[in-house]
Structure 1
Amino acid sequence: MGNRKNKKMKIVYNLIGVLMLSLSLGCMAQEFKNPIDVKLGDPYVLKTAQGKYYMYGTGGVKNGFKCYSSTDLVNWKDEGVIYTNKQEKAWGISAFWAPEVYEKDNNFYLFYSAQWKENPTNELENFKIGVAVSKSPTGPFIDVSGKPIFNPDYPIIDGNVFFENNKVYLYYSRCCYKHPVESEVATWAKEKGWYKEIEESWVYGVELKKDFSGIIGEPVLLLKPPVKQNKETEWESRSVTSHEANRRWTEGSTLLKNNATYYMTYSANNFDGENYAVGYATSKNPLGPFTKSVNNPILQKKGDVTGTGHNSITWSPDGKEMLCVYHGRTKESGHQRVVFIDRMHFDDSGNLIVNGPTTNLQKYPSK
């Protein structure tokens, strides 16, 4: 009788052990670490009305874009090419950058930057922003028209769109190309004999027509590099002060709203260098004026991770966690840009915080 009881107890203990091991393995399976297995620059994540995620970015295909899909933000499926300049309405010929896709009225709209084929003065940088449409987030996307949305007298990239109160706003970066600006760091670099001038890129905002066919009114200057150098702003000039380039960038903007405040994240420094980093500015209106945070940068190189920037923002499957999606480089990736996803949040004072870059194990975004 005693042996039978002992055998039963042994079976129970074994079952408990198996159960605990299974639970342990399950917990282990619900952890991940950066970078995730996607090799793109300028990553943008769309969360559809059905709750599925789609990621778009620069690279992976020549003269076009590809897409990845996921249900948990960690495991991504390659959905292949979703746009190329071979389609009938294409206006771009090269330099296809920074795609972002928005779901509206049962359609999906792809905003992107490219080199415009209409270039009578043969400018090296003739970048403009266009929009293409599809019934599916995986394409194929066809340009809405055979030309960019609008044509300012300077090159532009990095379109970001914000919808509010039945209005649509477009944010973009005026390129550094042929845009020299006087500043303290420009004077300093000239005195050192490094550069004769420092070119700058600036972020603008403008209202879009609801069908995305053009703009309403004139673009408004929202962000630019600092004129004066101090401890709070020096991070935006590191490409110059490290003798890397004669340019200062303000690009890759993303707008979000928290309570009554608009937050605009942006990237500064050379996207191709290790000092690429992210800051943010705030405003009470979608078209500014914006004030830069004294806590910038909120994301910059750390340890073996460099070149962190051009972020987008998404939310966990249950909508409870805000996540920063951005590209960076590691020793393993070399010069290849790879994707990172880290948690971000607002603290009690309304400051925007990014918990990154990380390469340690962390839990999956909350379900």
Structure 2
Amino acid sequence: MKLSKSITIVMLTAGVLAGLSATGCSSRGKSSSGSTTYSNPLPVTFGDPFILSASDGKYYMYGTGGMEKGFGAYSSDNLVDWHFEGQVYSGNQPGSWTVKNYWAPEVYEIDGRYYMFFSADWKENPTNELENFRIGVAVADQPTGPFTEVSDKPLFDPGYPIIDANILQHDGRTYLYYSRCCYKNPVESEVAEWARVQNLFQEIEESWVYGVEISNDFTTVIGEPVLLLQPPSTMADPQTEWESRSVTSGEVNRRWTEGSFAFEYNGKIYMMYSANFFGGENYAVGYAVADNPLGPFAKADNNPVLEKNVASGGEVTGTGHNMVFRTKEEGKMYTVYHGRTQKTGNERVVFIDEMNIDENGVLTVDGPSTSEKEL
């Protein structure tokens, strides 16, 4: 089966988002200009939020959390009011390859069917690894499920734990992006050496973003994965400070590059990614740009583009794992992500903020925000 024109795939081309558009809000109103207003955070306790614009005219939000073993979803008719649809995928299905830790679902519509990419612990674990994550695909006839796994095995096994699947279609070909987990991936760098000198950590593990071409029916990996993004190795690198905060603060002996989201804009491939501990206040978002889906990617000079705002008097921390969309009505570009506030504590909640790319290709995010805004 090949991807048809009806596939809902995440892609921005010349400023137009193909098939993905959504927003939501925790408070609703009308401004003096008649526009709908909202304020963050939304009343959705998801991590890793993802929005699908379905052919039935509704919008569906998927994410991590809320289900003991699987995923739930929200729907909206107006991109403002969201209704909880309940559990749409369960890992308790007979023959499931999964065991636990269900993370980061993304759903794509193809010829009237719905395909979910997700991460979970693989039950095949002969060496009893503590982190045994792989990526799988499930399918349903409705965006609200029930989603059933297409195979009793993960999509592929690279030999190390992987999470955070994201799909991009470019020139008729399909690319899968994912993050290799930090687990058992110690990396020597000037940051690791500094941590030893400071008696913080003896080694630093890292997660890296890879890309690989897959078949257009989402069933087969084509070729070998290509390493696209990883934490900087030198202290002089301008990205080192913000990407190493979990280490330099003494929080944990890991540096993350994860939660990638790729889209095409004005002939370039933009890849947004998250760094630092997903459970801490330093989780933040940067981006890199390439001419081709498999790179090489160059990180942006203005990173991070989304981070905690407590130093400037705000209350938001832990901002990360974002996606990008345009609204249908106004055509504005937004990013959706999770974060935390003083009120929500350790609970991850959903935010949206406007995002722009200027004539020089520089991407900026107007957030994190908690004040009332127009859509």
TM-score (norm 2): 0.88
8 A Cα contact 2:31 2:37, kept in partner: no
Who is 1:134 aligned against? 140
The one-letter code sitting in structure 2 at the alignment partner of 1:57 is G
Give the Cα separation in 1 of the matches to 2:209 and 2:273.
Answer: 9
- TM-superposed CA distance for 1:175, in Å, is 0.3
Who is 1:92 aligned against? 98
- TM-superposed CA distance for 1:313, in Å, is 1.2
* Match for residue 261 of structure 1 among 250, 260, 268: 268
Moved more, 66-75 or 105-114: 66-75
Alignment of 1:72-83 (within 5 A): 72-83=78-89
For the structure 1 residues 52 and 297, does the alpha-carbon distance in structure 2 shift closer, same or farther, using more than 3 Å as the test? same
The one-letter code sitting in structure 1 at the alignment partner of 2:123 is K
| Post-superposition CA distance 1:61-113 (Å, at most 9, x none) | 11100000113333211011000111224211101000000111211100000
Give the Cα separation in 1 of the matches to 2:186 and 2:263.
Answer: 30
Give the Cα separation in 2 of the matches to 1:147 and 1:24.
Answer: 49
2:367 counterpart of 1:356: yes
Who is 1:18 aligned against? none
For the structure 1 residues 239 and 255, does the alpha-carbon distance in structure 2 shift closer, same or farther, using more than 3 Å as the test? same
Alignment of 1:263-302 (within 5 A): 263-302=270-309
Give the Cα separation in 2 of the matches to 1:122 and 1:343.
Answer: 44
Give the Cα separation in 1 of the matches to 2:100 and 2:88.
Answer: 16
8 A Cα contact 2:30 2:36, kept in partner: no
For the structure 1 residues 353 and 72, does the alpha-carbon distance in structure 2 shift closer, same or farther, using more than 3 Å as the test? farther
Give the Cα separation in 2 of the matches to 1:73 and 1:34.
Answer: 14
8 A Cα contact 1:51 1:317, kept in partner: no
Give the Cα separation in 2 of the matches to 1:39 and 1:54.
Answer: 15
Give the Cα separation in 1 of the matches to 2:52 and 2:34.
Answer: 27
Give the Cα separation in 2 of the matches to 1:167 and 1:300.
Answer: 33
2:250 counterpart of 1:243: yes
| Post-superposition CA distance 1:108-138 (Å, at most 9, x none) | 1000000000000000000000000011111
- SS of equivalent residue, structure 1 residue 92: coil
- TM-superposed CA distance for 1:167, in Å, is 1.1
Give the Cα separation in 2 of the matches to 1:283 and 1:219.
Answer: 17
- SS of equivalent residue, structure 2 residue 244: helix
- SS of equivalent residue, structure 1 residue 114: strand
Who is 1:305 aligned against? 316
Who is 2:335 aligned against? 324
* Match for residue 69 of structure 1 among 75, 78, 86: 75
TM-score (norm 1): 0.90
Who is 2:23 aligned against? none
The structure with the largest alpha-carbon Rg is: 1
Give the Cα separation in 2 of the matches to 1:341 and 1:25.
Answer: 18
- SS of equivalent residue, structure 2 residue 100: strand
- SS of equivalent residue, structure 2 residue 99: strand
* Match for residue 191 of structure 1 among 185, 191, 197: 197
Greater share of residues in helix: 1
8 A Cα contact 2:30 2:37, kept in partner: no
Alignment of 1:124-163 (within 5 A): 124-163=130-169
8 A Cα contact 1:225 1:250, kept in partner: yes
Give the Cα separation in 1 of the matches to 2:207 and 2:166.
Answer: 16
- TM-superposed CA distance for 1:315, in Å, is 1.5
- SS of equivalent residue, structure 1 residue 87: coil
Give the number of equivalent residue pairs.
Answer: 342
* Match for residue 58 of structure 1 among 61, 64, 78: 64
For the structure 1 residues 160 and 107, does the alpha-carbon distance in structure 2 shift closer, same or farther, using more than 3 Å as the test? same
8 A Cα contact 1:314 1:323, kept in partner: yes
Alignment of 1:216-235 (within 5 A): 216-230=222-236, 232-233=238-239, 234-235=241-242
For the structure 1 residues 73 and 230, does the alpha-carbon distance in structure 2 shift closer, same or farther, using more than 3 Å as the test? farther
8 A Cα contact 1:36 1:74, kept in partner: no
What are structure 1's unaligned runs of at least 5 residues?
1-22
2:360 counterpart of 1:346: no
Give the Cα separation in 1 of the matches to 2:168 and 2:256.
Answer: 22
For the structure 1 residues 24 and 93, does the alpha-carbon distance in structure 2 shift closer, same or farther, using more than 3 Å as the test? closer
What are structure 2's unaligned runs of at least 5 residues?
1-28
Moved more, 315-324 or 38-47: 315-324
- TM-superposed CA distance for 1:296, in Å, is 0.2
| Post-superposition CA distance 1:8-64 (Å, at most 9, x none) | xxxxxxxxxxxxxxx978868821100011010010111224542111000011110
For the structure 1 residues 318 and 50, does the alpha-carbon distance in structure 2 shift closer, same or farther, using more than 3 Å as the test? farther
- SS of equivalent residue, structure 1 residue 306: strand
8 A Cα contact 2:107 2:117, kept in partner: yes
The one-letter code sitting in structure 1 at the alignment partner of 2:225 is P
Give the Cα separation in 2 of the matches to 1:48 and 1:180.
Answer: 42
The one-letter code sitting in structure 2 at the alignment partner of 1:102 is Y
Give the Cα separation in 1 of the matches to 2:137 and 2:214.
Answer: 12
Who is 1:335 aligned against? 346
